[in-house]
Structure 1
Amino acid sequence: MQAGFAFLEAGSVRSKNTTNILLKNTLDLFIGAIIYWLFGFAFAFGGNMNDIKGEAERFIGHTDFALADLNSDAYAFWFFQFVFAATAATIVSGAIAERAEFMAYLIYSGLITGFVYPVVTHWAWSNEGWLVAGNSDVAYLDFAGSGVVHMVGGMLALTGAICIGPRIGRFDKTNDQSIRGHTVPMVSLGGFILFFGFLAFNGGSQLTISYSGDASVVALAIVNTILSGAGGAVTTMLMKRIATGLFDGHWSLLTTINGGLSGMVSICAGCNSVETYAAFITGLIAGMVFMLWSFVLEKLKVDDPLDAVAVHYGCGLWGVMAVTLFNTDKGVLYKWSDQSFNQFGWNLLGAFVITIWSAFWGFLIFGLLRISGLLRVPRHIELKGLDVPKHGEPAYPIESYGDGWSQTAAVNANIHDAIQQEIPPGALQS
């Protein structure tokens, strides 16, 4: 998943910011591991030993800090849950790419991995969280994290994009200016890696494979993930074609990739408990949901280079509700009963509190970073790109093109810098 996000995000930004976004994805893995080891896992799953009873256990865990009291048999469980935590943090970096301070990244990523996300995990996935404990005969349904992972990451991405503001030139006063990424093949590679990663993301959420019935659940989750992704990809491709011209429009690769991801996000909640036709329908609707969210956010001038909010929050929200419609045991479309409507209401409550929790902490974290001047890089650095000023490592150094290119490259670099710093090219001497 981290490799997929890294390539997807790197290809979606301009070449001058490639090193920056790749380093953030790398640190989601390594700094995320440290934070989740020290605090995150304890807040998410600590307290499951039932050693201390009380209301606090319903809200947040309280044991196993730094895995001090965790049995080694549970280390595999820790690893799997850590990967989910890293995914939630990664979603945010793409939405505020190309203009965020690196120090801001370290702060918000640590807080998301160590506290904001783990608390929601405790509510929904621990043995004692209040959402999973449920109400009477229902409990929150979210098998692989449409709400727990994707809604959390997507809402935090939205608050970050709002607080940091659009990139320079993205929304001109007179005309919206699209800012393209620098390499479509890299985006496509990231998409394929993520498509594969989702198979383990969703299928692995069964958590066991040795008990009777485990293999069937894993297989169903994987098949449903593929079919829902297919529904999302085809829907978005056709909608983009119609939007750009029914007979002479475009068949968009980038939109199709996001559509596939949207379908896979939306089926996370119910991939283990819906029939294959329902998974395909979930993906079809997810494609429409993605296109609607993307359109609305652009009209509201929210600059999200990856469409992360539309993919993860919009389609995650749809997934949390879709499982209550198509679940074969207690879905509204299968059993028109009090239990099915209670299930719908409980998942709706879960989506609501996840939204409020994530929005509160998102606006608090990013708002404080903005007030303190730590959120966004200065204008001249944003224009020049973050790779050289912040990291000293351009992703595509001029020297790599060889001596024969040195003079031409130097001239082009001077012109490029002049344009980036808004100096008229005519002011340069040949």
Structure 2
Amino acid sequence: MEVLSRNDSSSASNASFKREDPLVDFKRNVDDFFLITNSIVICLMQCGFACLEAGSVRAKNATNIMMKNMMDMFICGACYWLIGYSLAFGTGSPLVGIGDYVAGRGLAAGALFSHWFFQFTFAATAATIVSGAVAERCTFASYLTYSAVISGIVYPVASHWAWSDEGWLSKLGYKDFAGSGVVHLLGGVCAFVGALLLGPRTGRFDNKTPQNETFAGHSTPLVGVGAMILFTGFLAFNGGSLGHISHHGDGELVAKVLANTALGGAGGALVTMALGRAGLAGQAGKWSFLISLNGALTGMVSVCASADQLQLWASIFLGAIAGPIYCFVSQALVRFKVDDPLDAVAVHGGGGVWGLLGGAILRSDTVVAGDFGLAGLLIGYNLVGVLAIAAWAGGTCCILFGLLRRGNLLRVSQEEELEGMDRTKHSEPAYPGPPWHVKNNANAGEVFRNQAFVSEE
């Protein structure tokens, strides 16, 4: 991530900015404003995730998932301030940062507030990815625990490897401009482990038809609004990753990154829409809105790793391949009865892996330039990164979710799951009052229990 070039992970480097030089001070302020503005837009992605996830779950759990998305920002803020940023960008080790910035110490001396704020939004995004995959059956206590650990430890360590000057992946030659691996693959692997150890929602795979309408989300328009907010947020997520705007050619490069991000989404959306219409996306041939938007998100994820090095046609192609990858991973999870209500694993995990490997091939300085040797090296370096990040995220989350499961803290009771967590955990149903009510029935697998709210008629 280019943002590190102006910090160099040391207070000494930051002290080199001459405050008495008006031009240097002006450039620094412009760069800070660039990071801060993009960070604020990235924060709006939490709103996008909240709408996307709330619409994708059943009405009885909408309040619960909204609260989790809201709290992600604040849990991450506290944990990233306390220890996360220090683990990510402290000095002294290629494996993990030492305590240079614990509890915010040293941020003022190093003029690092804007960098901290930007990285904090990335950490919050990585943690938020998990909430959709474990929706509708994860306890609130386990949510608080995994959100804190992922944003405070798991993500910071991986970002140190890849984006700190001392990180071993950075020194190896791993290239990940805006986090296809560090953010999205990591979040996707954590989501997979959480969904696997939680098990499917009650009745989810009881029928032969995997895409049972009983488990469909309750509001497609809400999903759509969330996705479109995320589309906008991705522009800041990738564009802001340059880290500065005052250097020669920065404006043109940021514009190129934004164009590549949008075109990656275009390639993913168009191909998945066509696959859905052809009946090759896991359901009967229809013009599927939900499949198309997930394809677009996967395409944008895939562009993150190399958005600064792609030609425009390459971004469309990268996104176009990301679409079928999303469909394949999503259908594979259903086949193996891994319940991921948001397709978070397919979008972020599948798109993240393809972005690191496909981006290495399609970059302007590798195969496109005729340098097959460099392409091979970069594929190898990024493959090492894929394996390392997946092993780190998967291993730590296996321990984390395994301990929670062993302590009977991971999953809500069947009664609470069937009643819905809005009522049982919050006493704040998303859609209270008539004509909605919970209809009693002895069969837990029936539509009424999974959907929770049915009409009086």
| Amino acid paired to 1:413 | H
Question: Which of residues 6, 21, 24 in structure 1 aligns to 2:68?
Answer: 24
Q: CA deviation at 1:374?
A: 0.4
What is the match of residue 287 of structure 1?
323
Are the aligned partners of 2:61 and 2:422 in contact in 1 as well (CA < 8 Å)?
yes
What is the match of residue 60 of structure 1?
97
Are the aligned partners of 2:202 and 2:445 in contact in 1 as well (CA < 8 Å)?
no
* Whole-angstrom CA distance in 1 between matches of 2:414 and 2:142: 16
What is the match of residue 153 of structure 2?
115
Are the aligned partners of 2:87 and 2:96 in contact in 1 as well (CA < 8 Å)?
no
Computed over aligned residues only, the root mean square deviation of the Cα atoms, in angstroms, reads 2.0
Q: Does 1:163 align with 2:201?
A: no
**How many positions carry a matched residue from both structures?**
400
What is the match of residue 55 of structure 2?
11
Question: Which of residues 355, 374, 377 in structure 2 aligns to 1:319?
Answer: 355
Q: CA deviation at 1:327?
A: 1.4
Are the aligned partners of 2:51 and 2:225 in contact in 1 as well (CA < 8 Å)?
yes
SS in structure 2 of the partner of residue 243 of structure 1:
coil
What is the match of residue 145 of structure 1?
179
Question: Which of residues 121, 131, 141 in structure 2 aligns to 1:93?
Answer: 131
Are the aligned partners of 1:384 and 1:420 in contact in 2 as well (CA < 8 Å)?
no
* Whole-angstrom CA distance in 2 between matches of 1:214 and 1:353: 32
* Whole-angstrom CA distance in 1 between matches of 2:96 and 2:74: 27
What is the match of residue 168 of structure 2?
130
What is the match of residue 114 of structure 2?
76
| Amino acid paired to 1:21 | I
Q: CA deviation at 1:156?
A: 0.4
| 1:304-343 correspondence to structure 2 within 5 Å | 304-329=340-365, 331-343=366-378
Give per-residue Cα distances to partners, 1:164-215, cap 9 Å, x unaligned. Answer: 0000111016443341000011000000000000000000000101111111
Q: CA deviation at 1:340?
A: 3.0
Q: CA deviation at 1:234?
A: 0.7
* Whole-angstrom CA distance in 2 between matches of 1:159 and 1:207: 32
| Amino acid paired to 2:169 | L
Query: In the superposition, relative to structure 1, how do residues 386 and 229 fare at CA in structure 2: closer, same or farther (>3 Å)?
Result: same
Give per-residue Cα distances to partners, 1:74-115, cap 9 Å, x unaligned. Answer: 111111100000000000000010000000000111000000
Question: Which of residues 336, 342, 351 in structure 2 aligns to 1:300?
Answer: 336
* Whole-angstrom CA distance in 2 between matches of 1:301 and 1:205: 37
Question: Which of residues 396, 400, 403 in structure 2 aligns to 1:361?
Answer: 396
| Amino acid paired to 2:395 | F
Structure 2, unaligned runs of 5 or more? 1-44, 449-456
Give per-residue Cα distances to partners, 1:226-280, cap 9 Å, x unaligned. Answer: 00100000111110111179xx831011111101100000000011111000000
Are the aligned partners of 1:326 and 1:334 in contact in 2 as well (CA < 8 Å)?
no
Runs of 4 or more consecutive aligned structure 1 residues displaced over 4 Å after TM superposition: 419-425
* Whole-angstrom CA distance in 2 between matches of 1:309 and 1:105: 17
| 1:211-222 correspondence to structure 2 within 5 Å | 211-222=247-258
Query: In the superposition, relative to structure 1, how do residues 231 and 130 fare at CA in structure 2: closer, same or farther (>3 Å)?
Result: same
TM-score by length of 1: 0.89
Are the aligned partners of 1:332 and 1:344 in contact in 2 as well (CA < 8 Å)?
no
* Whole-angstrom CA distance in 2 between matches of 1:174 and 1:292: 19
Identical residues among aligned pairs (%): 48
TM-score by length of 2: 0.84
What is the match of residue 50 of structure 1?
none
What is the match of residue 41 of structure 2?
none
What is the match of residue 437 of structure 2?
413
Are the aligned partners of 2:203 and 2:444 in contact in 1 as well (CA < 8 Å)?
no
What is the match of residue 271 of structure 2?
235
Give per-residue Cα distances to partners, 1:298-346, cap 9 Å, x unaligned. Answer: 10111000000000001100000122101112x2343334333222211
What is the match of residue 46 of structure 1?
90
Q: CA deviation at 1:58?
A: 3.9
* Whole-angstrom CA distance in 2 between matches of 1:41 and 1:182: 38
Q: CA deviation at 1:361?
A: 1.0
Q: CA deviation at 1:161?
A: 0.5
Q: CA deviation at 1:69?
A: 1.2
Query: In the superposition, relative to structure 1, how do residues 414 and 349 fare at CA in structure 2: closer, same or farther (>3 Å)?
Result: closer
Q: CA deviation at 1:423?
A: 9.8
Query: In the superposition, relative to structure 1, how do residues 285 and 302 fare at CA in structure 2: closer, same or farther (>3 Å)?
Result: same
* Whole-angstrom CA distance in 1 between matches of 2:286 and 2:369: 39
What is the match of residue 347 of structure 1?
382
* Whole-angstrom CA distance in 1 between matches of 2:438 and 2:302: 47
Structure 1, unaligned runs of 5 or more? 48-52, 399-404
| Amino acid paired to 2:189 | M
| Amino acid paired to 1:387 | D
Give per-residue Cα distances to partners, 1:352-400, cap 9 Å, x unaligned. Answer: 11111111111111111111100000000000000111011111111xx
What is the match of residue 260 of structure 2?
224
